[in-house]
Amino acid sequence: MALRHEPGQLGTPITIRTRERFSGARVRSILARRRVQLLAAALLGALVPWLVRSLFLPGRPFEPAAVNTLIANAAAVLLAFWMRLSIESYPGIRRAYVILPSALTAHGLTLVWFVLTRLPYDRVGLVLGFMIHVASLYAIFVSTELGVRRRIAVVPFGRIQMLSRIAEVDWLMLSRARLHDTRGCQAIVADFTADLPEEWEAFLAEAALAGRIVYQVKQLSESLSGRVQLEQLSENSFGSLVPARGYFYFKSAADLAVALALLPLALPVMALIALAIRIDSKGPALFRQKRVGHAGRPITVYKFRTMREAPADDARDAAITDHRDERVTRVGRTLRKFRLDELAQILNILKGEMSWIGPRPEAEVLSHWYQGQIPFYRYRHVVKPGISGWAQVNQGHVADVEQVHRKLQYDFYYIKYFSPWLDLLIVVRTIKTVLTGFGSR
Protein backbone atom coordinates (compact mmCIF):
# COMPACT_ATOMS: atom_id res chain seq x y z
CA MET A 1 0.00 0.00 0.00
CA ALA A 2 1.55 3.29 -1.09
CA LEU A 3 1.68 6.33 1.15
CA ARG A 4 -1.12 8.68 0.14
CA HIS A 5 -0.59 12.36 -0.54
CA GLU A 6 -3.59 14.59 0.25
CA PRO A 7 -2.27 18.16 0.41
CA GLY A 8 -5.55 19.96 -0.21
CA GLN A 9 -5.85 23.68 -0.99
CA LEU A 10 -4.33 26.52 0.97
CA GLY A 11 -6.38 26.82 4.15
CA THR A 12 -7.98 23.42 3.42
CA PRO A 13 -5.46 20.82 4.62
CA ILE A 14 -7.56 17.81 3.66
CA THR A 15 -10.32 17.38 1.15
CA ILE A 16 -14.00 17.65 2.02
CA ARG A 17 -14.37 13.90 1.30
CA THR A 18 -11.62 13.02 3.76
CA ARG A 19 -12.99 15.36 6.41
CA GLU A 20 -16.41 13.76 6.13
CA ARG A 21 -14.93 10.29 6.22
CA PHE A 22 -13.10 10.92 9.48
CA SER A 23 -15.51 13.27 11.21
CA GLY A 24 -16.87 10.35 13.21
CA ALA A 25 -13.40 9.63 14.61
CA ARG A 26 -13.02 13.25 15.75
CA VAL A 27 -16.36 13.15 17.55
CA ARG A 28 -15.71 9.73 19.06
CA SER A 29 -17.74 8.73 22.05
CA ILE A 30 -16.46 9.60 25.48
CA LEU A 31 -16.36 5.85 26.10
CA ALA A 32 -13.21 5.63 23.98
CA ARG A 33 -11.21 7.26 26.79
CA ARG A 34 -9.30 4.81 28.94
CA ARG A 35 -10.20 6.46 32.23
CA VAL A 36 -13.88 6.37 31.37
CA GLN A 37 -13.64 2.70 30.37
CA LEU A 38 -11.96 1.86 33.67
CA LEU A 39 -14.54 3.79 35.67
CA ALA A 40 -17.46 2.19 33.80
CA ALA A 41 -16.03 -1.31 34.24
CA ALA A 42 -15.43 -0.71 37.96
CA LEU A 43 -18.92 0.65 38.56
CA LEU A 44 -20.63 -2.08 36.55
CA GLY A 45 -18.39 -4.99 37.51
CA ALA A 46 -18.12 -4.21 41.23
CA LEU A 47 -20.98 -1.95 42.32
CA VAL A 48 -23.83 -3.50 40.33
CA PRO A 49 -23.31 -7.06 41.69
CA TRP A 50 -23.17 -5.65 45.21
CA LEU A 51 -26.45 -3.74 44.67
CA VAL A 52 -28.15 -6.72 43.04
CA ARG A 53 -27.07 -8.95 45.90
CA SER A 54 -28.29 -6.41 48.47
CA LEU A 55 -31.65 -5.61 46.87
CA PHE A 56 -32.82 -8.91 45.42
CA LEU A 57 -31.01 -11.69 47.31
CA PRO A 58 -30.88 -12.59 51.01
CA GLY A 59 -28.16 -11.05 53.16
CA ARG A 60 -27.16 -7.66 54.51
CA PRO A 61 -25.17 -5.28 52.22
CA PHE A 62 -22.44 -4.54 54.78
CA GLU A 63 -21.80 -8.03 56.07
CA PRO A 64 -18.15 -9.19 55.65
CA ALA A 65 -18.85 -11.52 52.70
CA ALA A 66 -20.62 -8.79 50.70
CA VAL A 67 -17.95 -6.13 51.40
CA ASN A 68 -15.09 -8.55 50.62
CA THR A 69 -16.73 -9.45 47.30
CA LEU A 70 -17.22 -5.78 46.41
CA ILE A 71 -13.51 -5.08 47.06
CA ALA A 72 -12.45 -8.25 45.19
CA ASN A 73 -14.50 -7.37 42.09
CA ALA A 74 -13.07 -3.84 42.07
CA ALA A 75 -9.53 -5.22 42.43
CA ALA A 76 -10.16 -7.69 39.58
CA VAL A 77 -11.33 -4.86 37.30
CA LEU A 78 -8.15 -2.87 38.07
CA LEU A 79 -5.90 -5.90 37.56
CA ALA A 80 -7.56 -6.83 34.27
CA PHE A 81 -7.25 -3.22 33.08
CA TRP A 82 -3.52 -3.21 33.88
CA MET A 83 -3.03 -6.53 32.09
CA ARG A 84 -4.84 -5.30 28.98
CA LEU A 85 -2.79 -2.11 28.88
CA SER A 86 0.39 -4.20 29.08
CA ILE A 87 -0.62 -6.61 26.32
CA GLU A 88 -2.45 -4.34 23.86
CA SER A 89 0.73 -2.41 23.02
CA TYR A 90 2.00 -5.42 21.07
CA PRO A 91 1.17 -5.77 17.37
CA GLY A 92 -1.11 -8.30 15.75
CA ILE A 93 -3.64 -8.26 18.54
CA ARG A 94 -7.09 -6.76 18.75
CA ARG A 95 -8.37 -5.54 22.08
CA ALA A 96 -11.27 -7.94 21.78
CA TYR A 97 -8.79 -10.85 21.93
CA VAL A 98 -7.54 -10.02 25.42
CA ILE A 99 -10.75 -8.95 27.16
CA LEU A 100 -11.85 -12.44 28.19
CA PRO A 101 -8.38 -13.86 29.08
CA SER A 102 -7.44 -10.83 31.19
CA ALA A 103 -10.78 -10.74 33.02
CA LEU A 104 -10.72 -14.50 33.56
CA THR A 105 -7.19 -14.32 34.97
CA ALA A 106 -7.93 -11.36 37.25
CA HIS A 107 -11.17 -12.76 38.68
CA GLY A 108 -9.56 -16.19 38.97
CA LEU A 109 -6.78 -14.73 41.10
CA THR A 110 -9.31 -13.14 43.45
CA LEU A 111 -11.00 -16.53 43.87
CA VAL A 112 -7.63 -18.14 44.62
CA TRP A 113 -7.01 -15.39 47.21
CA PHE A 114 -10.27 -16.20 48.98
CA VAL A 115 -9.52 -19.92 48.94
CA LEU A 116 -6.04 -19.42 50.40
CA THR A 117 -7.03 -16.84 53.04
CA ARG A 118 -10.41 -18.45 53.87
CA LEU A 119 -12.00 -15.02 54.09
CA PRO A 120 -15.80 -14.99 53.67
CA TYR A 121 -17.04 -14.09 50.18
CA ASP A 122 -20.19 -14.22 48.09
CA ARG A 123 -19.98 -16.73 45.22
CA VAL A 124 -22.98 -15.25 43.41
CA GLY A 125 -21.45 -11.76 43.65
CA LEU A 126 -18.13 -12.97 42.23
CA VAL A 127 -19.80 -14.69 39.28
CA LEU A 128 -22.02 -11.67 38.58
CA GLY A 129 -19.02 -9.36 38.79
CA PHE A 130 -17.09 -11.42 36.24
CA MET A 131 -20.02 -11.69 33.81
CA ILE A 132 -20.96 -7.99 33.98
CA HIS A 133 -17.29 -6.94 33.73
CA VAL A 134 -16.73 -8.95 30.53
CA ALA A 135 -20.07 -7.95 29.00
CA SER A 136 -19.45 -4.24 29.64
CA LEU A 137 -15.97 -4.36 28.08
CA TYR A 138 -17.23 -6.06 24.93
CA ALA A 139 -20.13 -3.57 24.70
CA ILE A 140 -17.66 -0.65 24.96
CA PHE A 141 -15.39 -2.25 22.36
CA VAL A 142 -18.22 -2.76 19.86
CA SER A 143 -19.54 0.79 20.31
CA THR A 144 -16.19 2.60 20.10
CA GLU A 145 -13.62 0.54 18.20
CA LEU A 146 -15.16 -2.12 15.99
CA GLY A 147 -14.38 -1.35 12.35
CA VAL A 148 -12.36 1.80 13.13
CA ARG A 149 -9.07 2.13 11.19
CA ARG A 150 -6.15 4.11 12.54
CA ARG A 151 -5.03 7.20 10.64
CA ILE A 152 -1.50 8.50 11.17
CA ALA A 153 0.16 11.59 9.70
CA VAL A 154 3.66 11.12 8.21
CA VAL A 155 6.46 13.71 8.23
CA PRO A 156 7.90 13.29 4.68
CA PHE A 157 11.61 12.88 5.47
CA GLY A 158 13.95 9.97 6.18
CA ARG A 159 13.17 6.25 6.16
CA ILE A 160 9.40 6.47 5.89
CA GLN A 161 9.04 3.99 3.02
CA MET A 162 9.07 1.09 5.48
CA LEU A 163 5.57 2.21 6.49
CA SER A 164 4.16 1.57 3.02
CA ARG A 165 4.26 -2.19 3.67
CA ILE A 166 1.80 -1.83 6.58
CA ALA A 167 -1.74 -1.85 5.21
CA GLU A 168 -3.66 -1.77 8.50
CA VAL A 169 -3.26 2.02 8.81
CA ASP A 170 -4.40 4.95 6.66
CA TRP A 171 -1.22 7.01 6.15
CA LEU A 172 -1.52 10.74 5.47
CA MET A 173 1.63 12.21 3.89
CA LEU A 174 2.01 15.78 5.13
CA SER A 175 3.02 18.45 2.63
CA ARG A 176 3.57 21.34 5.03
CA ALA A 177 4.55 21.80 8.68
CA ARG A 178 1.13 22.74 10.02
CA LEU A 179 -0.47 20.95 12.94
CA HIS A 180 -3.87 21.89 11.54
CA ASP A 181 -3.26 19.45 8.67
CA THR A 182 -3.22 16.48 11.05
CA ARG A 183 -6.87 16.81 12.04
CA GLY A 184 -8.52 13.39 12.20
CA CYS A 185 -5.19 11.62 12.78
CA GLN A 186 -4.60 9.61 15.96
CA ALA A 187 -0.83 10.18 15.86
CA ILE A 188 2.14 11.59 13.93
CA VAL A 189 5.21 9.60 12.81
CA ALA A 190 8.65 10.93 11.87
CA ASP A 191 12.19 9.67 11.38
CA PHE A 192 14.06 11.40 14.21
CA THR A 193 17.42 10.40 12.71
CA ALA A 194 16.73 12.33 9.49
CA ASP A 195 18.06 15.82 8.89
CA LEU A 196 14.76 17.67 9.29
CA PRO A 197 14.32 21.29 8.17
CA GLU A 198 13.87 23.77 11.01
CA GLU A 199 10.18 24.30 10.33
CA TRP A 200 9.52 20.55 10.64
CA GLU A 201 11.51 20.34 13.89
CA ALA A 202 9.38 23.21 15.21
CA PHE A 203 6.28 21.35 13.98
CA LEU A 204 7.19 18.24 16.00
CA ALA A 205 7.89 20.33 19.09
CA GLU A 206 4.53 22.05 18.68
CA ALA A 207 2.80 18.67 18.30
CA ALA A 208 4.41 17.37 21.50
CA LEU A 209 3.43 20.51 23.43
CA ALA A 210 -0.13 20.13 22.17
CA GLY A 211 -0.25 16.63 23.66
CA ARG A 212 -0.22 14.82 20.31
CA ILE A 213 1.33 11.36 20.08
CA VAL A 214 4.54 11.45 18.00
CA TYR A 215 6.20 8.14 17.03
CA GLN A 216 9.69 7.35 15.78
CA VAL A 217 9.27 5.57 12.45
CA LYS A 218 11.47 2.59 13.35
CA GLN A 219 9.67 1.84 16.62
CA LEU A 220 6.23 2.32 15.04
CA SER A 221 7.11 -0.02 12.18
CA GLU A 222 8.22 -2.69 14.67
CA SER A 223 5.11 -2.18 16.78
CA LEU A 224 2.70 -2.54 13.86
CA SER A 225 4.51 -5.37 12.05
CA GLY A 226 5.83 -7.33 15.03
CA ARG A 227 9.23 -7.69 13.33
CA VAL A 228 12.72 -6.23 13.76
CA GLN A 229 14.23 -5.17 10.44
CA LEU A 230 17.41 -7.21 9.94
CA GLU A 231 18.78 -4.97 7.21
CA GLN A 232 19.25 -2.14 9.70
CA LEU A 233 20.69 -3.86 12.78
CA SER A 234 22.74 -1.43 14.83
CA GLU A 235 23.80 -0.77 18.39
CA ASN A 236 20.29 0.48 19.27
CA SER A 237 18.32 -2.27 17.53
CA PHE A 238 17.89 -4.24 20.74
CA GLY A 239 18.84 -1.85 23.54
CA SER A 240 20.61 -4.76 25.27
CA LEU A 241 21.81 -7.93 23.56
CA VAL A 242 21.06 -9.97 26.70
CA PRO A 243 17.33 -10.18 27.55
CA ALA A 244 16.13 -9.62 31.13
CA ARG A 245 17.88 -12.34 33.11
CA GLY A 246 15.50 -12.13 36.06
CA TYR A 247 12.52 -12.98 33.91
CA PHE A 248 14.58 -15.63 32.08
CA TYR A 249 15.11 -17.62 35.29
CA PHE A 250 11.58 -17.01 36.56
CA LYS A 251 10.22 -18.23 33.23
CA SER A 252 12.31 -21.42 33.41
CA ALA A 253 10.91 -22.19 36.87
CA ALA A 254 7.36 -21.44 35.71
CA ASP A 255 7.81 -23.68 32.64
CA LEU A 256 8.80 -26.60 34.87
CA ALA A 257 5.92 -25.99 37.31
CA VAL A 258 3.32 -25.84 34.51
CA ALA A 259 4.75 -28.97 32.87
CA LEU A 260 4.54 -30.91 36.15
CA ALA A 261 0.99 -29.67 36.75
CA LEU A 262 -0.17 -30.67 33.25
CA LEU A 263 1.63 -34.00 33.12
CA PRO A 264 -1.23 -36.05 34.68
CA LEU A 265 -3.60 -34.66 32.02
CA ALA A 266 -1.11 -34.87 29.15
CA LEU A 267 0.01 -38.49 29.68
CA PRO A 268 -3.35 -40.13 28.76
CA VAL A 269 -3.62 -37.94 25.65
CA MET A 270 -0.04 -38.77 24.68
CA ALA A 271 -0.75 -42.50 25.13
CA LEU A 272 -3.77 -42.28 22.78
CA ILE A 273 -1.73 -40.38 20.18
CA ALA A 274 1.05 -42.97 20.35
CA LEU A 275 -1.46 -45.79 19.89
CA ALA A 276 -3.05 -44.09 16.85
CA ILE A 277 0.38 -43.59 15.26
CA ARG A 278 1.37 -47.25 15.71
CA ILE A 279 -1.95 -48.45 14.24
CA ASP A 280 -1.74 -46.09 11.26
CA SER A 281 1.82 -46.80 10.10
CA LYS A 282 4.93 -48.79 10.89
CA GLY A 283 7.63 -47.35 13.08
CA PRO A 284 8.08 -45.83 16.54
CA ALA A 285 5.55 -43.39 17.98
CA LEU A 286 8.20 -40.84 18.92
CA PHE A 287 10.48 -39.04 16.49
CA ARG A 288 13.83 -37.75 17.77
CA GLN A 289 15.84 -35.06 16.03
CA LYS A 290 19.03 -33.16 16.84
CA ARG A 291 18.28 -29.46 17.06
CA VAL A 292 19.98 -26.32 18.36
CA GLY A 293 18.90 -25.11 21.78
CA HIS A 294 19.72 -22.31 24.21
CA ALA A 295 23.21 -20.77 23.77
CA GLY A 296 23.68 -22.85 20.60
CA ARG A 297 23.93 -26.16 22.48
CA PRO A 298 22.65 -29.26 20.62
CA ILE A 299 19.55 -30.93 22.10
CA THR A 300 17.42 -33.92 21.16
CA VAL A 301 13.87 -32.75 20.51
CA TYR A 302 10.96 -35.17 20.81
CA LYS A 303 7.90 -35.13 18.57
CA PHE A 304 5.18 -37.60 17.78
CA ARG A 305 6.04 -39.18 14.44
CA THR A 306 3.87 -37.82 11.64
CA MET A 307 5.78 -39.13 8.60
CA ARG A 308 6.86 -42.39 7.04
CA GLU A 309 10.55 -43.03 6.68
CA ALA A 310 11.64 -42.33 3.11
CA PRO A 311 15.04 -41.72 1.50
CA ALA A 312 16.04 -38.10 0.74
CA ASP A 313 18.80 -36.67 -1.41
CA ASP A 314 20.54 -35.07 1.57
CA ALA A 315 20.02 -34.34 5.26
CA ARG A 316 18.81 -30.81 4.58
CA ASP A 317 16.03 -31.98 2.27
CA ALA A 318 15.00 -34.60 4.83
CA ALA A 319 14.62 -31.89 7.50
CA ILE A 320 12.33 -29.71 5.36
CA THR A 321 8.64 -30.46 4.89
CA ASP A 322 5.82 -28.67 3.11
CA HIS A 323 2.05 -29.10 2.91
CA ARG A 324 2.39 -31.42 -0.14
CA ASP A 325 4.94 -33.77 1.46
CA GLU A 326 3.91 -37.34 0.59
CA ARG A 327 5.72 -38.73 3.64
CA VAL A 328 3.05 -37.32 6.01
CA THR A 329 0.66 -40.02 7.26
CA ARG A 330 -3.11 -39.73 7.72
CA VAL A 331 -2.84 -39.47 11.49
CA GLY A 332 0.22 -37.25 11.09
CA ARG A 333 -1.69 -34.72 9.03
CA THR A 334 -4.26 -34.29 11.80
CA LEU A 335 -1.56 -34.07 14.45
CA ARG A 336 0.28 -31.39 12.47
CA LYS A 337 -2.86 -29.36 11.82
CA PHE A 338 -3.68 -29.05 15.54
CA ARG A 339 -0.02 -29.05 16.71
CA LEU A 340 -0.52 -32.21 18.73
CA ASP A 341 2.76 -33.65 17.43
CA GLU A 342 4.53 -31.01 19.53
CA LEU A 343 2.97 -32.31 22.77
CA ALA A 344 5.84 -34.75 23.23
CA GLN A 345 8.14 -31.76 23.81
CA ILE A 346 6.81 -31.55 27.34
CA LEU A 347 9.67 -34.02 27.93
CA ASN A 348 12.16 -31.37 26.73
CA ILE A 349 10.60 -28.84 29.11
CA LEU A 350 10.95 -31.26 32.02
CA LYS A 351 14.63 -31.68 31.08
CA GLY A 352 15.07 -27.87 31.13
CA GLU A 353 16.00 -27.72 27.44
CA MET A 354 12.91 -25.92 26.15
CA SER A 355 10.21 -23.48 27.20
CA TRP A 356 6.49 -23.37 26.45
CA ILE A 357 7.05 -20.06 24.62
CA GLY A 358 10.11 -19.10 22.56
CA PRO A 359 11.67 -19.31 19.08
CA ARG A 360 11.20 -22.77 17.59
CA PRO A 361 14.33 -24.95 17.81
CA GLU A 362 15.79 -25.55 14.35
CA ALA A 363 17.27 -28.82 13.09
CA GLU A 364 21.07 -28.79 13.33
CA VAL A 365 21.58 -29.22 9.61
CA LEU A 366 19.18 -26.36 8.81
CA SER A 367 20.62 -24.14 11.53
CA HIS A 368 24.14 -24.50 10.08
CA TRP A 369 22.79 -23.73 6.62
CA TYR A 370 20.89 -20.64 7.78
CA GLN A 371 23.97 -19.34 9.61
CA GLY A 372 25.78 -19.27 6.27
CA GLN A 373 22.89 -17.49 4.58
CA ILE A 374 21.59 -15.01 7.18
CA PRO A 375 23.78 -12.63 9.23
CA PHE A 376 23.25 -12.60 13.00
CA TYR A 377 21.21 -15.82 12.85
CA ARG A 378 22.84 -17.31 15.97
CA TYR A 379 21.45 -14.50 18.11
CA ARG A 380 18.06 -16.27 18.20
CA HIS A 381 19.64 -18.84 20.56
CA VAL A 382 20.04 -16.23 23.35
CA VAL A 383 16.73 -17.46 24.87
CA LYS A 384 15.38 -20.98 25.29
CA PRO A 385 13.53 -22.40 22.28
CA GLY A 386 9.82 -22.98 22.73
CA ILE A 387 6.91 -25.17 21.66
CA SER A 388 5.09 -22.07 20.40
CA GLY A 389 6.48 -18.65 19.55
CA TRP A 390 5.85 -15.19 18.13
CA ALA A 391 6.81 -16.32 14.62
CA GLN A 392 4.51 -19.34 14.74
CA VAL A 393 1.36 -17.37 15.67
CA ASN A 394 2.13 -14.69 13.05
CA GLN A 395 3.62 -16.66 10.17
CA GLY A 396 3.20 -20.41 10.57
CA HIS A 397 5.51 -23.01 9.05
CA VAL A 398 8.42 -21.87 6.83
CA ALA A 399 10.85 -23.71 4.56
CA ASP A 400 12.92 -21.52 2.21
CA VAL A 401 15.56 -18.92 3.13
CA GLU A 402 13.33 -15.92 2.35
CA GLN A 403 10.63 -17.17 4.72
CA VAL A 404 13.24 -17.97 7.37
CA HIS A 405 14.57 -14.41 7.04
CA ARG A 406 11.08 -13.09 7.80
CA LYS A 407 10.67 -15.60 10.64
CA LEU A 408 13.94 -14.34 12.12
CA GLN A 409 12.51 -10.82 12.19
CA TYR A 410 9.69 -12.14 14.37
CA ASP A 411 12.16 -14.05 16.58
CA PHE A 412 14.25 -10.92 17.09
CA TYR A 413 11.13 -8.95 17.99
CA TYR A 414 10.32 -11.55 20.65
CA ILE A 415 13.84 -11.33 22.08
CA LYS A 416 13.84 -7.52 22.05
CA TYR A 417 10.51 -7.30 23.89
CA PHE A 418 11.07 -10.42 26.06
CA SER A 419 8.46 -10.11 28.82
CA PRO A 420 5.62 -11.99 30.55
CA TRP A 421 3.08 -9.84 28.70
CA LEU A 422 4.35 -10.90 25.29
CA ASP A 423 4.37 -14.52 26.46
CA LEU A 424 0.77 -14.19 27.64
CA LEU A 425 -0.23 -12.71 24.29
CA ILE A 426 1.42 -15.64 22.48
CA VAL A 427 -0.46 -18.09 24.71
CA VAL A 428 -3.77 -16.42 23.77
CA ARG A 429 -2.93 -16.47 20.07
CA THR A 430 -1.60 -20.04 20.25
CA ILE A 431 -5.03 -21.20 21.41
CA LYS A 432 -6.54 -19.55 18.34
CA THR A 433 -3.81 -21.07 16.14
CA VAL A 434 -4.46 -24.57 17.46
CA LEU A 435 -8.23 -24.24 16.98
CA THR A 436 -7.93 -22.91 13.41
CA GLY A 437 -4.91 -24.94 12.25
CA PHE A 438 -3.18 -21.72 11.06
CA GLY A 439 0.25 -22.26 9.47
CA SER A 440 0.21 -26.06 9.67
CA ARG A 441 2.06 -28.12 7.10
String of DSSP letters for 58-69: SS-TTSHHHHHH
Q: How confident is the model at residue 166 (pLDDT cuts 50, 70, 90)?
A: confident
Is the per-residue pLDDT at 357 higher than 80?
yes
Is the per-residue pLDDT at 167 higher than 70?
yes
Determine which of 48-62, 87-101, 169-183, 297-311 has the lowest per-residue pLDDT on average: 87-101
- pLDDT given for residue 36 in this prediction: 80
Q: Which residue has the higher pLDDT, 59 or 100?
A: 100
Q: Which residue has the higher pLDDT, 16 or 214?
A: 214
- pLDDT given for residue 92 in this prediction: 52
Q: Kindly state the average pLDDT of the residues 288-294.
A: 94
- pLDDT given for residue 239 in this prediction: 56
For residue 251, count CB atoms less than 10 angstroms from its CB and return exposed for 0-12, middle for 13-18, buried for 19 or more.
buried
Is the per-residue pLDDT at 25 higher than 50?
no
Quick: pLDDT tens for 360-411. Answer: 999 888 888 888 777 678 888 989 999 999 998 888 766 666 787 888 889 9
Contact 72, 151 (CB under 8 A): no
- pLDDT given for residue 71 in this prediction: 93
Is the per-residue pLDDT at 10 higher than 50?
no
Quick: pLDDT tens for 70-110. Answer: 999 999 999 999 888 877 766 555 667 788 888 999 999 99
Q: Considering the chain, what is the average pLDDT of its residues? A: 81
- pLDDT given for residue 4 in this prediction: 42
Query: Residue 10 in 3-state DSSP?
Result: coil
Q: Kindly state the average pLDDT of the residues 420-439.
A: 81
- pLDDT given for residue 346 in this prediction: 96
Is the per-residue pLDDT at 19 higher than 60?
no
- pLDDT given for residue 365 in this prediction: 86
Domain with CATH 3.40.50.10700 in the chain: 149-225
Amino acid at 186: Q
Q: Kindly state the average pLDDT of the residues 117-146.
A: 87
**Which range has highest mean pLDDT (31-45, 120-134, 158-172)?**
120-134
Q: Which residue has the higher pLDDT, 2 or 406?
A: 406
Fold of 149-225: Rossmann fold (3.40.50)
- pTM across the whole model: 0.69
Is the per-residue pLDDT at 313 higher than 60?
no
Determine which of 94-103, 125-134, 264-273, 285-294 has the lowest per-residue pLDDT on average: 94-103
Is the per-residue pLDDT at 333 higher than 50?
yes
- pLDDT given for residue 11 in this prediction: 31
